[in-house]
Chains A and B, each alone.
Chain A
Amino acid sequence: MSAGTTPGAGRKDAEGSSATWARADRIGLALSWAAGIFLCVVAASIVIYMAIRGIQFLRPQLLFQSPEADLNQAQSGGFLDPLVGTFLLTVMATVIAAPLGVATAIWLTEYGRPAWLARPVESGVEVIAGTPSIVLAIFGLLIFQQGLFGIFSITGGDGEVLGRSFFAAAAMMSFIALPLVVGATREALQAVPNHVREASYALGKTKAATIRRVLLPAIRPGIGTGAALGMGRIAGDTAIVVILLGATLKFQPKESLPLLGTLQGTGSTLTSYVYGNSPAGEGDAPEKAYAAAFMLLLVVIGLNYTVDRLSRGRKGLSWSV
């Protein structure tokens, strides 16, 4: 979060004082300082401004009331459904993305053969990472509107499959988290020195047993980092929610089993709630939008903090290379 906290300039070392530098170098140094401080100011003002607005409008009952469509803002309720929707969607998408990403990363790092297959897999992950989420959303609609997937989403009156549900949105959201999980897991695997793998083989273990019993425990913090990063991105995405989750103010379960019906039905998240209540949306209730946006910011900062803890937590427990 904090950029430019430890600028390297000002050290008294063999480089000498910057006063003796060429003019272009001094301007460069000043610009680097300015860039770092500028980012710091931006980050701080986002947090502070949102905190002021959020605290001004955030009331505990907002967290426990379902939203209602009402022009009178005193009657329009809170954002319980979007808040639960955010958690539900994030957890579902991560549950899909984590095993898929870990498996991909293990295959790429530990096997990676044949090379003609590994290279396309690598580029595939990069393509997914680079695809805008609105494109993923439209693509998801294309898939989930097929009759074959009718069970996963709501249907219209005449039995037409609409392709909108928590299932559909989570499936596409998982592709947002996937590249992050793959990246973090690969990094963690590459940080395990080769002699650790060899030590396991040298005790008569197979490669599969080595991966399961030695590598997986070793890379757990890395997987956690990737998953937490991915959750932050999922919680913050709007396009997929609007197109694939329906962005209905409240949960609209499908006629089915109690919990399953909710997952087959539509709903909303904090992002779509903020959008809906912003001046651009239908609700046009900026106070509610500010309160929900602040809530969302807290969730994402919390996830970032988790990432930080995970990536630092086990530093003391590793091998020398």
Chain B
Amino acid sequence: MERLTPPPVRRILVDSEPTVAQPPPPRESNGGHTADAAATALGSPAVRRPEPARGTPQDRMHLEEISIAYDGKAAVESVSLPVRRGEVLALIGPSGCGKTTLLRSLNRLVELTPSASRSGRILLDGEDIDELEVTELRRRVTMVFQQPNPFPMSIFDNVAYALREQGASRPKRDELEGPVTDALERAGLWAEVGDDLARPALRLSGGQQQRLCIARALAADPEVLLLDEPCSALDPRSTSVIEELILRLREEVAIVIVTHNMQQALRIADHVGFMYLGELVEYGPADQVFGRPTEQRTREYVGGGFG
């Protein structure tokens, strides 16, 4: 019998610099070209750097000196940021830099981790979120996760979930039909599922499931939408569909997206916050953070090729 040669041993370099970014293609003058190139590389219809949303951005949330620690070990250190409607805020940075922890503090989901402690203030439309009823806060600041996670019920019930009373299963279906249809349309899913809302949601494809999760998060008409790497489990085509959706939605709702994909941040973000080891190293308009970063660490992370 033929013996197989053992596979080559791959070494993992532990002490290498945390520079994850792909070196971007050679650029000419502005960031727009790079975005086009990146979009073409993904095989998606050309996504340009977004035009600014119509109307002036409106402040929704304010983070003031937010620090979060797990068991006394700092994960986020005194971060201050505005979150505005009419623009997409992208949080980028290497794994473990605290960007997801920061995102989860915006709807107080971080409190589910018993060892976590937080200091600093977060204001939602001028109110301290610690003073709000947590269930009310989470209807106003909803969240979409990394893995698509529709609930084991029909498409209709998934979208209606946030609208119903705590434990209730099916009160007033007629009244809910309007908002459910509306949310599915806003999430760009109506055309695909509108004919059969009774189907189990888990039968949808991955990309459809994730858009259903976005519809579910939009149904309660939130002021802020949090997205935690919403495309990392999806194929490039579904990713571009969701990116276009995000650009459309930013007109109506403030969007904060955590991503480790810098090309994605470049394609959709208006403002970018670069985090490193729990610190907000740089925050500014996307063109500036990618094109003319002021900090050395940002320059190293975004690859140095942008400016």
Complex Cα spacing A319 to B149, Å:
6
Question: Quick check: is B35 within 8 A (CB to CB) of the other chain?
Answer: no
Chain A residues with CB below 8 A from B13, complex form: none
Question: In the complex, are the beta carbons of B109 and A202 less than 8 A apart?
Answer: yes
- Looking at chain A's contact residues, the main secondary structure is loop
Contact of B4 among A14, A212, A319, A321 (CB under 8 A): A14
Complex Cα spacing A200 to B152, Å:
12
Q: Which residue of B lies closest to A208 (CB)?
A: B167
Question: In the complex, are the beta carbons of A206 and B142 less than 8 A apart?
Answer: no
Question: Quick check: is B276 within 8 A (CB to CB) of the other chain?
Answer: no
In chain B, residues 143-170, which have Cβ atoms closer than 8 Å to a Cβ of chain A? 143, 145-149, 151-153, 161-162, 166-167, 169
Question: In the complex, are the beta carbons of A195 and B135 less than 8 A apart?
Answer: no
Question: In the complex, are the beta carbons of B217 and A203 less than 8 A apart?
Answer: yes
B113, chain A: closest CB distance, angstroms: 10
Provide the A297-321 mask, 1 if CB < 8 A to any CB of B, else 0.
0000000000000000000011111
Question: In the complex, are the beta carbons of B152 and A317 less than 8 A apart?
Answer: yes
Complex Cα spacing A95 to B213, Å:
36
Question: In the complex, are the beta carbons of A218 and B1 less than 8 A apart?
Answer: no
In chain B, residues 98-144, which have Cβ atoms closer than 8 Å to a Cβ of chain A? 107, 109, 112, 134-139, 142-143
Question: Quick check: is B97 within 8 A (CB to CB) of the other chain?
Answer: no
Question: In the complex, are the beta carbons of B200 and A202 less than 8 A apart?
Answer: no
Chain B residues with CB below 8 A from A217, complex form: 151-153
Question: Quick check: is B220 within 8 A (CB to CB) of the other chain?
Answer: yes
Question: Quick check: is A213 within 8 A (CB to CB) of the other chain?
Answer: yes
Provide the B159-202 mask, 1 if CB < 8 A to any CB of A, else 0.
00110001101000000000000000000000000000000101
Question: In the complex, are the beta carbons of B112 and A200 less than 8 A apart?
Answer: no
Contact of A199 among B213, B220, B233 (CB under 8 A): B213
Question: Quick check: is A157 within 8 A (CB to CB) of the other chain?
Answer: no
Complex Cα spacing A198 to B226, Å:
13
In chain B, residues 32-57, which have Cβ atoms closer than 8 Å to a Cβ of chain A? none
In chain A, residues 200-219, which have Cβ atoms closer than 8 Å to a Cβ of chain B? 200-206, 208-209, 212-214, 217-218
Complex Cα spacing A319 to B146, Å:
12
Question: In the complex, are the beta carbons of B151 and A200 less than 8 A apart?
Answer: yes
Question: Quick check: is A196 within 8 A (CB to CB) of the other chain?
Answer: yes
Question: Quick check: is A17 within 8 A (CB to CB) of the other chain?
Answer: yes
Question: In the complex, are the beta carbons of A317 and B167 less than 8 A apart?
Answer: no
Question: In the complex, are the beta carbons of B162 and A320 less than 8 A apart?
Answer: no
Question: Quick check: is B292 within 8 A (CB to CB) of the other chain?
Answer: no
Q: Which residue of A lies closest to B139 (CB)?
A: A204
Q: How many A-B residue pairs have CB under 8 A?
A: 90
Question: Quick check: is A193 within 8 A (CB to CB) of the other chain?
Answer: yes
Question: In the complex, are the beta carbons of B135 and A14 less than 8 A apart?
Answer: no
Question: Quick check: is A12 within 8 A (CB to CB) of the other chain?
Answer: yes
Complex Cα spacing A218 to B151, Å:
8
Question: Quick check: is A130 within 8 A (CB to CB) of the other chain?
Answer: no
Chain A residues with CB below 8 A from B1, complex form: 12, 16-17
B84, chain A: closest CB distance, angstroms: 21
In chain A, residues 177-191, which have Cβ atoms closer than 8 Å to a Cβ of chain B? none
Complex Cα spacing A13 to B213, Å:
43
Chain B residues with CB below 8 A from A13, complex form: 4
Complex Cα spacing A204 to B109, Å:
10
Chain A residues with CB below 8 A from B211, complex form: none
Question: Quick check: is B10 within 8 A (CB to CB) of the other chain?
Answer: no
Contact of A208 among B143, B162, B166 (CB under 8 A): B166
B45, chain A: closest CB distance, angstroms: 27
Q: Which residue of A lies closest to B165 (CB)?
A: A209
Complex Cα spacing A40 to B152, Å:
38
Chain A residues with CB below 8 A from B139, complex form: 203-204
Q: Which residue of A lies closest to B200 (CB)?
A: A317
Question: In the complex, are the beta carbons of A204 and B112 less than 8 A apart?
Answer: no
Question: In the complex, are the beta carbons of B135 and A193 less than 8 A apart?
Answer: no
Question: In the complex, are the beta carbons of B217 and A317 less than 8 A apart?
Answer: no
Contact of A206 among B152, B161, B166 (CB under 8 A): B166
Question: In the complex, are the beta carbons of B152 and A199 less than 8 A apart?
Answer: no
Question: In the complex, are the beta carbons of A198 and B145 less than 8 A apart?
Answer: yes
Question: Quick check: is B267 within 8 A (CB to CB) of the other chain?
Answer: no
Given A196-B149, A200-B161, 15 additional A-B pairs, CB 8 A: A12-B1, A16-B1, A198-B109, A198-B145, A201-B109, A202-B142, A202-B145, A203-B139, A204-B137, A205-B161, A208-B166, A208-B167, A213-B169, A318-B202, A321-B147
Interface residues of chain B, those whose CB is within 8 Å of chain A, are 1, 3-4, 6, 107, 109, 112, 134-139, 142-143, 145-149, 151-153, 161-162, 166-167, 169, 200, 202-203, 213, 216-217, 220, 226, 233
Interface residues of chain A, those whose CB is within 8 Å of chain B, are 12-14, 16-17, 193, 195-196, 198-206, 208-209, 212-214, 217-218, 317-321
